[in-house]
Amino acid sequence: MTFASAAVILAVMASGVVAGTTVGVSVAGAAEHASKAAFCGANDSIDRAGANVTSNAGFLVVLKKHTHDLAVLKENAPAGALGQTVDATVTAAEAAISSNNANELNNIPDSGSIDTYCGVDGNGLPLPAYFGKGTATPFCSTFVAVYQSAQSATNKAGVLAALTAHQAQVEQLASALSSLPKSIKAKATAAVDNAQKAIATNNPSAIGGGNGGGPASYVALYCGQNQ
C-alpha cells in the first residue's frame, strides 16, 4: 500500500487504509482467525484503486470507497510487528475519514511491509524477481540514503533540494552504474540521469512524476525498499 505525491513517494501507506467507522477488532484477536488470502485481496483492491492517485485528497476519496476492504485488512491482520503496522495504519486512516481531513493521511506509518507480505508493490503489481537482490551492495547503500531523503519531501521542489544536498552521492551512483545487473541497469541509469539533470538545471520538472512509477521506484525495489 503505497501512496505518492508529485515525484515523491510519500510514506502514506502502500495503498491506504481507513474506514468510515472504527473496526472494533484487536490485532491479537484478529490474528487468531486471519486469512492471508482475504487480507492480501483487500490490500490489492486498495492498491490498484489508488495506483494513479497523486494527492492526499484523491487518496482519501479512494479510501472512503473501500471501507469494507479496510475492515478486512484489520480483521485478517497477521500477528507480530506486521499486525501492529496494520493496526496503526488503519487507525490513522480512520482518523482521516472521520474528520474528512486528507492531511491526517500524513500520519500513516511506512507500511511497505504490508505489500511485501502480500508479494506486491505499492500499486498492487507482483514484486519483480530482482526485489531485494541488491540490498547488501555498496550501490544500494548509497542509493537508499538519497532515496529516503527525497522521500521525506512533500513536493518536487523538496525532492530537488534533497537531491542537491546529496549531489556527491548521486555522482557516486553514476560511477557505479556499470556494476549493476542487466535487470535493473536501464532503470537505474534513467533515475540517476534524471537526478543529475534536475540538479544541473535546478529544475524540479526534470525529476519526472507519477505515483511511484518513475525509474527510481524500480531501483528502490532492487534495493529492498518497497514503499
What CA–CA distances, in Å, run from 146 to 39, 63, 140, 219? 32, 30, 10, 12
Mean pLDDT (whole number) for 183-204? 95
* DSSP assigned state of 10: -
Question: pLDDT, tens digit, for every residue of 3-42?
Answer: 433 323 333 333 333 333 333 334 444 455 579 999 999 9
Convert the pLDDT of each residue in 109-164 to its tens digit: 888 899 999 999 888 889 999 999 999 999 999 999 999 999 888 788 999 999 99
